[in-house]
Amino acid sequence: MYSPLLKFAKKISPFFLIILLSCGSSTTSTNADLSSPAPILISFSPNPVSIASTLSIQGEGFSPLLNENFLSIGAFLISSSHYSVVSTAQGNLEQLDFVLPAGLSAGTYSAYLMVRENPSNSLGVVVE
């Protein structure tokens, strides 16, 4: 049994195949650098820290290029001021220094690091 509808479907099936392949799929645009592992925060020092003073972060996966490391704390995104590798009880760790802005209010924050747009885990820091 051969119907005109089946004949029509066979003629346009590649078109429907393209539509079906694109249906239900989703694409997500991200700027994250997937070639780099996510940075890992291990500690903040000092904690508590004073407003307008230097906060040091130790961990792994940081960039030695200062303009690729940003600390997110409160409503601020702060560029790093210094990069180094330090020897600790956990072994060699990377360290970044950030000068906290004078406009930051005292309080407890959950802060995280962005390295080349890759977010780290977050850690709590007390600002006095």
Alpha-carbon distance values, 24 to 19, 20, 28 (Å): 10, 8, 13
Report the predicted TM-score, pTM, of the whole model to 2 decimal places. Answer: 0.72
Residue 71: strand pairing partners: 78, 113
Residues 6+ apart with CB under 8 A from 113: 39, 41, 57, 59, 62, 69, 70, 71, 72, 96, 119, 120
Mean pLDDT by 10 residues, the chain (128 residues): 48 44 44 73 97 97 97 97 93 97 96 96 97
pLDDT at residue 36, as a whole number: 74
Buried b (16+ CB within 10 A) or exposed e, 59-82: bbbbbeeeebbbbbbbeeebebee
pLDDT at residue 6, as a whole number: 46
**How big is the chain by its Cα radius of gyration, in Å?**
25
pLDDT at residue 23, as a whole number: 47
pLDDT at residue 100, as a whole number: 97
**From the CB of residue 57, how many other CB atoms can be counted at a distance below 10 Å?**
26
**From the CB of residue 114, how many other CB atoms can be counted at a distance below 10 Å?**
16
User: Strand, coil or helix: what is 11?
Assistant: helix
